[in-house]
Amino acid sequence: SQTIHQWPATLVQPVGSPLSLECTVEGTSNPNLYWYRQAAGRGLQLLFYSVGIGQISSEVPQNLSASRPQDRQFILSSKKLLLSDSGFYLCAWSVLDRASAEAFFGQGTRLTVV
Amino acid sequence: KQEVTQIPAALSVPEGENLVLNCSFTDSAIYNLQWFRQDPGKGLTSLLLIQSSQREQTSGRLNASLDKSSGRSTLYIAASQPGDSATYLCAVRPTRSNYQLIWGAGTKLIIKP
């Protein structure tokens, strides 16, 4: 069965520090991978998605970047965190099949920038 | 532009009641609609996925319906339990950008013992 791992679960970082959140998927090959941010009381905002190794698409301009160094690994990074980067970050995967395309999520990372 | 709305934003009911959560979307050009559950501070758990050609899906005490032409979906929870307390989110996958999910803001459900 497929599983998705996301870490760390919580993170407190000072303004201006770097960030690296990691997500890995097991039990599937060539998944679509996604990074979302969730603001309190609002829907999820898609930040990045990837359809393959080294292929990253960004949905919103921001202080963050993403990389996919391996088929089942997706990393969210920042060189210098801003206070506005605080939030709940979720990694997700789906199979690139238009009909089914069910999305599965990790447990999320609560990032607090202080 | 596809927009997804969930009403009500919050709902509190006594244990044992049957209840319905609503999700509406503005563009019927979708591949599917998915219902998720989110516990506080946790990730999302997929509950039900309804393909655009389907009318409903069932899993245990949950039943989700889809009326694509009217842009509506409902999640029916039978015999509610305190463990059902969570935020329920719906999301649609548009045909125009199948990599993306468009999300509602969620309904926060509290089941009182």
DSSP readout, A47-59? EEEEEETTEEEES
**For residue A16, what pLDDT is reported?**
97
Q: Which residue of A has its CA nearest to B3?
A: A43
Tens of each residue's pLDDT in chain B, 113 residues: 899 999 999 999 999 999 999 999 999 999 999 999 999 888 999 999 999 999 999 999 999 999 999 999 999 999 999 999 999 999 999 888 767 889 999 999 999 99
How far is the alpha carbon of A16 from chain B, nearest alpha carbon, in Å?
Answer: 25
Q: Which residue of B has its CA nearest to A106?
A: B43
Chain B residues closer than 8 Å to A56 by CB: none
Determine, for residues B98 and A49 on separate chains, whether the beta-carbon distance falls below 8 Å: no
Determine, for residues B34 and A103 on separate chains, whether the beta-carbon distance falls below 8 Å: yes
Determine, for residues B100 and A110 on separate chains, whether the beta-carbon distance falls below 8 Å: no
* CB neighbour list of residue B11: distance below 8 Å, 6 or more residues apart: B19, B21, B107, B108, B109, B110
> Distance between alpha carbon B106 and the CA centroid of its chain, in Å?
8
Q: Which residue of A has its CA nearest to B6?
A: A43
Cα A83 from Cα A112, distance rounded (Å): 8
Cα A67 from Cα A56, distance rounded (Å): 7
How far is the alpha carbon of B45 from chain A, nearest alpha carbon, in Å?
Answer: 7
Cβ–Cβ contact B103 with A under 8 A: yes
Q: Which residue of A has its CA nearest to B103?
A: A43
Cβ–Cβ contact B42 with A under 8 A: yes
User: Token pair of B51, please?
Assistant: 């393909």
The model's pLDDT over A70-110, given as tens digits with 9 standing for 90+, comes to 999 999 999 999 999 999 999 999 986 656 678 899 999 99
